[in-house]
Amino acid sequence: MTDLDAPTTAELIAKRLRYDILSGKLKPLQPLRQDEIAAQMGVSKIPTREALVQLKTEGLVVIHQNRGAVVAEFSASEVAEVYEMRAALETLAIRRAIPNMTKSDFVRAEGLIEIMDDTHDALNWSELNWEFHAMLYRPANMPRLLEHIRMLHSNVARYVVHYLTSVDYHAEAQRQHRLILQLCRTGNIAQATPQLEAHLTQAGKKIAQFLKKDEG
Amino acid sequence: MTDLDAPTTAELIAKRLRYDILSGKLKPLQPLRQDEIAAQMGVSKIPTREALVQLKTEGLVVIHQNRGAVVAEFSASEVAEVYEMRAALETLAIRRAIPNMTKSDFVRAEGLIEIMDDTHDALNWSELNWEFHAMLYRPANMPRLLEHIRMLHSNVARYVVHYLTSVDYHAEAQRQHRLILQLCRTGNIAQATPQLEAHLTQAGKKIAQFLKKDEG
DNA sequence: TTGTGTATAATCGTATACGATTATACTAAT
DNA sequence: ATTAGTATAATCGTATACGATTATACACAA
């Protein structure tokens, strides 16, 4: 008997490529050649192809017929679109979650905020930021919803990181995080929901605007 | 030179499997064996596996490590969850779409409703129903949003078909469709949005309830 | 009977191999 | 010089082959 659920080769490749894309090591429009990736990982093309198909449906990769895959590029308006979708889904999630939140949820969320206070690496901060948001949504017990939100988050994470390395947004974001968490603590759905929506809408607009400069 | 974008074998298999799942020919939990499917289509396993990976991320198939794939089964509560997500995203879509709707959009939407009046086959009706809804959202010019909605629709389409074959919901649905379209015509976002939300919430509840009887 | 172990078959996951498609470099003609 | 055409290389997509994992059947002991 071997490891009960050893990740499949395709999963390993997908994980690695995903990380390299999110961290910015692989840049938008950069080609992802099957042979090259396979050789690098010391495996064949077959699992590599499956990994690329997976990442395609996650929106991180674009595959062109017989022309191979490239890292997906999001335009400013597409990033804005993703943030609108996130706002719609994440407000739903927090609405359903608040009634089920427990004391330990609040403690752990507060803990994350404090760690983020001392985290200045943009990539780490982005990951902690997702963990914080996920914590607010998990009590909703809506796993499919959470998975969709996670995918949307991962779609724009690269651009968030890029933005954070240029602009100091930490203090502002942290202030909003603390406010939203406080509203959750008091069970105030009526105010927590629009605050979260504003938090996301504002971030989306800032990042889209930031990208537009590059595009122009 | 051959056909410029002839669909890849994997895409053909995915399309076929998707149709067979949505139409109910392949039932929930039914195993999807790679060799069997490949032999049936006269191809090898490689593109078959890619098709299954694709359908997995669409939520129509579940793959277990070294144990193969089965048609995904949605519990009543999962169907309800999908409908909540649809309500969140589709209200966003229609809100953004209404200001951009043109006369020809209204004509075509009305045409679809009339065709649906005479469509009694549940599968056909379900497809037309999607086309009608998509028509309401397309003017939003949010392709990623539309694609997500399409996936969610396809997740529950089987159960809609199943429900429609047992219960006569056509008249009620058509009445709501006409009302929503009329509100779009007059640019009444304030009322169209909650009407659409009610339309979806109601359908979701009915279908979830219907499924619960089977589960119990 | 019920459970446990082992042999066999079925199925999966991936490496290798190869034809098909697309990109690139080079030649020749206008 | 620019373009069109062709040969060559690079890359993709899929068939075949095979080791690895899991399921099944059956013998045997408690």
* CATH number of the domain where residue B62 is located: 1.10.10.10
Q: What is the structure's pLDDT at B4?
A: 56
Alpha-carbon gap, residue B47 to B38, rounded angstroms = 8
pLDDT digit string (tens) for A12-69?
999 999 999 999 999 999 999 999 999 999 999 999 999 999 999 999 999 999 999 9
B2 occurs within a structural domain: no
A1 occurs within a structural domain: no
A4 occurs within a structural domain: no
**Together in a domain, B98 and B157:** yes
Of B57, B65, B82, the CB nearest to A57: B57
pLDDT for residue B38 is more than 50: yes
Instruction: Tell me if B171 sits within 8 A of A111, measured CB to CB.
Output: no
**Together in a domain, B195 and B99:** yes
pLDDT for residue A4 is more than 80: no
**Together in a domain, B100 and B53:** no
Q: What mean pLDDT, rounded, does chain A reach?
A: 95
Integer-rounded Cα radius of gyration of chain B: 19
B157 occurs within a structural domain: yes
A3 occurs within a structural domain: no
Alpha-carbon gap, residue A158 to A151, rounded angstroms = 12
Q: What percent of chain B has pLDDT over 90?
A: 94
Alpha-carbon gap, residue B60 to B56, rounded angstroms = 6
Alpha-carbon gap, residue A171 to A117, rounded angstroms = 8
* A71, containing H or E segment: strand A68-71
pLDDT for residue A3 is more than 80: no
Alpha-carbon gap, residue B74 to B76, rounded angstroms = 7
Q: Which conformational region is residue B7 in: left (phi greater than 0), alpha (psi within -120 to 50 degrees), or beta? A: beta
Q: How many domains does chain A have?
A: 2
CA dihedral A203, A204, A206, A211 (to 10 degrees): 140
**Together in a domain, B30 and B84:** no
Alpha-carbon gap, residue A188 to B80, rounded angstroms = 24
**Together in a domain, A83 and A162:** yes
Of A50, A85, A92, the CB nearest to B53: A50
B177 occurs within a structural domain: yes
**Cβ contact, residue pair A50, B54, below 8 Å:** no
Q: Is the CB of B44 under 7 A from strand D?
A: yes
Contacts of B57 in chain A (CB under 8 A): 54, 57-58
pLDDT digit string (tens) for B134-171?
999 999 999 999 999 999 999 999 999 999 999 999 99
**Where among A33, A54, A71 does a domain terminate?**
A71
For chain A, the residue count is: 216
Q: Of all protein residues, which has its CA closest to the C1' atom of C21? A: A66
**Together in a domain, A28 and A119:** no
Residues of A with CB under 8 A from a CB of B: 5, 8, 10, 46, 49-50, 53-54, 57-59, 65, 78, 81-82, 84-85, 88-89, 91-92, 96, 142, 144-145, 148
**Together in a domain, A84 and A191:** yes
Q: What is the structure's pLDDT at A214?
A: 83
Mark residues 14-43 of chain A whose C-beta is closer than 7 A to nucleic acid strand C: 38, 43
pLDDT for residue A101 is more than 90: yes
**Stretch B41-59: mean pLDDT, rounded?**
96
Nearest CA in chain B to A74: B144
For B94-122, b where at least 16 C-beta lie within 10 A, e where not — what string? bbbbbeebeeebeeebbebbeebeebeeb
Q: What mean pLDDT, rounded, does chain B reach?
A: 95
Q: Write down the residue that tokens 């389409």 correspond to.
A: B157
Contacts of A92 in chain B (CB under 8 A): 84-85, 88
**Together in a domain, A105 and A166:** yes
B193 occurs within a structural domain: yes
Q: Which residue has the higher pLDDT, B7 or B124?
A: B124
Instruction: Tell me if B56 sits within 8 A of B69, measured CB to CB.
Output: yes
**Where among A23, A50, A71 does a domain terminate?**
A71
Taking each helix axis from N to C end, the angle separating A170-185 and A189-215, rounded to the nearest 10 degrees, works out to 160
Mark residues 29-88 of chain B whose C-beta is closer than 7 A to nucleic acid strand C: 31-36, 45-46, 49, 63, 65-69
B192 to each of A150, B104, B138, how far by Cα in Å?
A: 29, 19, 16
Q: What is the structure's pLDDT at A2?
A: 47
Contacts of A95 in chain B (CB under 8 A): none
**Together in a domain, A95 and A134:** yes
CA of B2 to C1' of C14 (A): 31
A2 occurs within a structural domain: no
Sorting pLDDT into bands at 50, 70 and 90, what band is A215? Answer: confident
**Together in a domain, B210 and B169:** yes
Residue A100 belongs to domain spanning: 76-215
**Cβ contact, residue pair B85, A92, below 8 Å:** yes
Instruction: Tell me if A200 sits within 8 A of A86, measured CB to CB.
Output: yes
Lowest mean pLDDT, pick from A106-115, A164-173, B43-52, B176-185:
A164-173
**Cβ contact, residue pair B65, A145, below 8 Å:** no
List the beta bridge partners of residue A69: A32, A63
pLDDT for residue A1 is more than 50: no
pLDDT for residue A186 is more than 70: yes
**Together in a domain, A52 and A103:** no
CATH code: domain of residue B116: 1.20.120.530
Q: What is the structure's pLDDT at B3?
A: 52
Closest CA to B112 of B134, B140, B95: B134
Nearest C-alpha of chain B: how many angstroms from A36?
20
**Together in a domain, A87 and A180:** yes
Cβ contacts of residue B205 below 8 Å, gap of 6+? B80, B83
Contacts of A89 in chain B (CB under 8 A): 85, 88-89
pLDDT for residue B1 is more than 50: no
